[in-house]
Amino acid sequence: MPIVLKSTPFEEMAHKAMRVLARILALAMMLALTHGAPARAADTIRLAVQKTGTFSWELATIRGAGLDKEADLSLEVTELASPEAGKIALRAGNADIILSDWLWVSRERALGAKLTFYPYSSALGAVMVPAASPIKTLADLRGRKLAVGGGPIDKSWLLLQARMKQDGIDLKSDATIVYGAPPLIAAKALDGEMDASLNFWNFCAQLEAKGFRRLAGIEEILPKLGAKGAVSAVGYVFDEGWAASHRDAVARFIAMTRKAKQLLVTSDAAWDKIAPLTGASDPAMLKTYRDRYRDGIPRRNINDEEADARVLYRVLAETGGRDLVGPAAELDPGTFYHEVPGD
């Protein structure tokens, strides 16, 4: 007959206590390992930013709302004096992302540099005139003094010329053209030294806030040149090799900037926070900056953006020639970045 040994009540209680203690110790060890392990470092992205540019507004919004931490990104920002300095920093490997235009990216690609572009803003300049000016249409610019910010191969100026040639008007010969740096052109316009001016969008916003009238925005003439919608002239530019090895970080960066733009669309309070960065001298100017910035936020499919950029590239190549576009007659394949989820 088999003999069955039974545990005493005391032994059963001891076994139960040992099992509970073992579970507690295992849980404690897991927690210790979790807290003791170093946290994964946020991905670092180096940005070269023009100190007085609108990108600084977006970055201030990102940091103020903690969007960089939410995206698990560490943004290292170098402030530069000009857009050209940003291009140099990118090409030298001292920056990962800058702001520039697809025209420059395509030109660089044709010369061997594999850069790529993702839309940042479709805000463009405008032809501005004093409120009481007798100039009512673009055709009225004939015989007038027109100041152009950015020089003879400024893209808005070339697009304007191309549009006017469709109506048989050669602005270079039919008007008196004065070139100058954008701040100087804005100042000359305010002083009444010019009949009209064509300038970057933020300087146009300054004039608008001072009572000047928009004769025509460059975005308004693009359909006549073949574009089917708003075209982002300025975008985030980076090396495609770097993007391939940091694809997830790039996707999080783009998603982060979209959230910042959405905040700047929906919140006037967000604009109050960045007001000192804009240089706005009064609430009216800040409102104009805000409205024009919002108008320029990209909302189109990346394929549609690229298709219109390809059309406008041909217009610019014909008008500006090799001095503008370099050796390529067509927008270089790969100029636009297509690896963002959802695009």
* Of residues 202, 299, 239, 230, the one with CA closest to residue 98: 239
pLDDT in tens, 229-247: 999 999 999 999 999 999 9
- Angle at CA of residue 309, ends 307 and 310, nearest 5°: 65
pLDDT at 20: 46
pLDDT at 263: 97
pLDDT above 90 as % of the chain: 82
pLDDT above 70 as % of the chain: 88
Query: Considering all CA atoms of the chain, what is the largest pairwise distance in Å, rounded to the nearest integer?
Result: 124
The mean pLDDT of the chain is: 90
Confidence label for 40 from pLDDT (cuts 50, 70 and 90) = low
pLDDT at 208: 95
Total of domains in the chain: 2
pLDDT in tens, 176-233: 999 999 999 999 999 999 999 999 999 999 999 999 999 999 999 999 999 999 999 9
Q: Average pLDDT for residues 321-330, to the nearest whole number?
A: 89
- Regarding whether 114 and 138 lie in a shared domain, the answer is no
Phi, psi of 326 (to 5 degrees): 80, -150
With respect to residue 156, please indicate whether it lies within any of the assigned structural domains.
Answer: yes
- Regarding whether 203 and 161 lie in a shared domain, the answer is yes
- Regarding whether 284 and 161 lie in a shared domain, the answer is no
pLDDT at 19: 56
Residue 307, number of CB atoms within 10 A of its CB: 18
Q: For the residues of 18-42, what is the DSSP string, one character each?
A: HHHHHHHHHHHHHHHHHHHSPPPPP
pLDDT at 49: 95
pLDDT at 51: 87
- Regarding whether 136 and 279 lie in a shared domain, the answer is no
Q: Give, to the nearest 10 degrees, the angle between helix 55-64 and helix 268-278.
A: 130
Instruction: Confirm if 331 and 316 have CB atoms less than 8 A apart.
Output: no
- E strand segments, 58-210: 73-80, 98-101, 115-121, 126-129, 145-149, 176-180, 196-199
- Regarding whether 219 and 204 lie in a shared domain, the answer is yes
> Is pLDDT of 15 > 60?
no
CA–CA dist 313, 284 (Å, integer): 36
pLDDT at 23: 58
> Is pLDDT of 34 > 70?
no
pLDDT at 323: 86
The b/e string for 180-219 (b: 16+ C-beta within 10 A; e otherwise) is: bebeebbebbbeeebbbbbbbbbbbbbbbbbebbebbbbb
> Is pLDDT of 35 > 80?
no
> Is pLDDT of 29 > 90?
no
pLDDT in tens, 159-177: 999 999 999 999 999 999 9
Domain of 283, CATH number, reads 3.40.190.10
pLDDT in tens, 79-128: 998 889 999 999 999 999 999 999 999 999 999 999 999 999 999 999 99
pLDDT at 55: 95
> Is pLDDT of 7 > 70?
no
pLDDT at 4: 39
pLDDT at 52: 83
- Regarding whether 242 and 173 lie in a shared domain, the answer is no
- Regarding whether 187 and 152 lie in a shared domain, the answer is yes
With respect to residue 337, please indicate whether it lies within any of the assigned structural domains.
Answer: no
CA torsion sign, 89 to 201 to 296 to 56? positive
- Which structural domain range is residue 211 located in? 126-225
Environment class of residue 19 by beta-carbon count within 10 Å: exposed (0-12), middle (13-18) or buried (19+)? exposed
Confidence label for 41 from pLDDT (cuts 50, 70 and 90) = confident
Ramachandran quadrant class, 334 (left: phi over 0; alpha: psi -120 to 50; beta: rest):
left
With respect to residue 282, please indicate whether it lies within any of the assigned structural domains.
Answer: yes
- Regarding whether 237 and 117 lie in a shared domain, the answer is yes
CA–CA dist 77, 75 (Å, integer): 6
With respect to residue 86, please indicate whether it lies within any of the assigned structural domains.
Answer: yes
pLDDT in tens, 52-72: 889 999 999 999 999 999 999
pLDDT at 94: 97
